[in-house]
Amino acid sequence: MDINTLNIDPSAKLNAQAWLDGAYDEATKQAIRDMAQNNPEELNESFYRHLEFGTGGLRGIMGVGTNRMNRYTVAMATQGLANYTRSQFPGETGLRAAVSHDSRNHSREFAEITAAVLAANGFHVYLFDSMRPTPELSFAVRHFQCHTGVMLTASHNPKEYNGYKAYWSDGCQLTAPHDTAVIDEVLKIKALSDVRMDAPEGSIEIVGEEVDRIYLDRIEKNALNPDLIRKHHDIKIVYTPLHGTGITLIPRMLKQLGFTNVNVVEEQAVPDGNFPTTPSPNPEERAAMGMAVDLAKKIDADIVFASDPDADRVGVAVKRPDGEWMLLNGNQTMAVLLYYILRQWQEKQMLTGNEYVVKTIVTSELPADIALRAGVKVYDVLTGFKFIGGKIRELEGVETFIAGGEESYGYMIGDFVRDKDAVAACSMIAEIAAWACEQGKSFFDVLVDIYKQYGFYKEGLVSVVRKGKAGAEEIQQMMRDYRSNPPAEIDGDPVVMLKDYQLLESRDLRTGQVSLIELPKSNVLQFFTASGNKITVRPSGTEPKIKFYFSVKGDLCCADCFDKENAALDAKIESIKRSMNLV
């Protein structure tokens, strides 16, 4: 069938024909012919564009096409990364790269292709012997003094996805100008003949256990109260890796710290890219935490946590006084982590006045309140952990980073890893549970203490999914509409401040005063109301979604009032959603 006769995007025709004419394997070409014959819409979606780096790197559905994750798009992306990296280190003869992968289908294959292309381009490649958590890859980049690194993972996305996170020499994911510059290099590659694949003998070094030991030993140094861990070593911990890489290191790390009663959800301990026991391997979702909570109820556990497939995000469940289990959101977990860490730094007289923490613009203001009251500076950055890593790079040697995090369940403690780290976060969460036990409290009680002291913050999120090319265009139109005609009020509450991160302007709607936002441009809008509510609108950088973040605040006078105030804040969020036609 002649692809040029199909009623599809011209770019899709051009890209698909190039693959049919190029040196691609016959199975791939036959798949293109089958789509042209039986499913032109799928052909259009598979070829209308090239995958692009977003806040989480390269990510997409696995399959045939320029807009899909496959051996060819991985090879071409790697060639672009290699070309760009070489250009940034001219004359360097000892270029180095680290490569790892998660438990997803095809991840090992993609990792080996990535390693081969980098090696063929003159890099000495440190390839992990098997799956490892994303934060260990970030650590390895710095440990081996690499110029770049790649982690093959789609994080918490459904099983159909895979992805490619590229890292720079500081162990941080690619930020501007590197991220777009790498894509520019990828787009220059017009044929497979542009990709070098023949790795010289000895150019790929297999690594594993020796890096594990060094990484885990460094995390152990994060412990602020090792004596309390030893005293309460037998608190009941439930952990699930959700069929991912966390099983390789998180139980081992907890044992190394001294915890002796770690109960792993065995059904989810087996690495499996099909994630058979959960509809989505995302610890943000209640269904993913279900089996762990069931086990916690059975054994009367003290704390529950889950890591996503590449073990950079953590979901936490805590036991309430009535015996029921409550799932914390990412803002709540970050608040407890920061509260504990800063309190310990204060008590141990470790604060000098030159420390700081970092959060993203969509994260609750509660962590900022906790830090500022402790005399610690707070920096806001755009959504995506690469911006937290970028801030650390900017302030390296000038100020001391303590911790950082974001609402989407990612946390970083110390700067030896430059990405979110579930291994380090789970270790600290377990320590907090032991510290609470020492005081005759639970993890939930610590959260209540925070709300009583700083105010009861509550957040909500609505993700509007719009798939494909038409969906992407609809999302962009929604942003244009909000930008050109912003709401004067939301749920009867006047909008008093508008922050436009694309224009880098903060506008006080009461006075008309405009101030500059000193961050990189991003397609994000924030509306602040007279009563203190914050609503953020942002297209996702990794998924076909536009996200609406809601943050409201109340007071908590006593622990017994928790449910009443929690319900009132939930009702306020739902009312805001209705006023914006999102329910």
Residues catalogued as catalytic: 155
DSSP-derived 3-state class of residue 322:
coil
Whether 36 and 3 have beta carbons less than 8 Å apart is answered as yes
Strands (E), 331-474: 355-360, 377-381, 400-406, 410-413, 456-465
Residue 133, preceding bond cis, omega within 30 degrees? Answer: no
Placement of tokens 């009623």 in the chain = 7
Question: Residues near 343 by Cβ (< 8 Å), separated by ≥ 6?
Answer: 374
Q: How distant, in Å, are the alpha carbons of 66, 80, 159, 162, 179 from that of 62?
A: 11, 20, 9, 6, 22
User: HSE-up of 95 (CA within 13 Å, CB side)?
Assistant: 23
C-beta of residue 59 within 8 angstroms of C-beta of residue 542: yes
Q: The tokens of 152 are what?
A: 């093959």
Report CA-CA distances (Å) from 290 to 160, 279, 293, 332. 22, 11, 5, 19
Measuring CA to CA, which residue among 55, 161, 44, 68 is closest to residue 469?
A: 44
- Bridge partners (DSSP) of residue 100 are 151
- Angle (nearest 5°) at CA 68 between 66 and 70: 95
CA-nearest of 102, 35, 92 to 66 is: 35
Handedness of CA 164, 169, 173, 179 (dihedral sign): negative
Q: How far is CA 185 from CA 47, 67, 103, 512, in A?
A: 19, 16, 29, 43
Burial class (CB in 10 A: 0-12, 13-18, 19+), 455: middle
> Which two three-digit tokens encode residue 305?
């946590």
What 8-state DSSP symbol labels residue 199? P
If 0-12 CB within 10 Å is exposed, 13-18 middle and 19+ buried, where does residue 84 land?
buried
Round to whole Å and give the CA distance between 39 and 150.
33
- Largest distance between two CA atoms of the chain: 74
DSSP single-letter state for residue 57: B
Cα–Cα distance between 46 and 38 in angstroms, integer?
Answer: 14
Let me know if 2 is exposed, middle or buried by CB neighbors in 10 A (0-12, 13-18, 19+).
exposed
Residue 460, strand partner residues: 550
For residue 375, give the 3-state DSSP assignment. Answer: coil
3-class secondary structure, 413: strand
3-state secondary structure of 97: strand
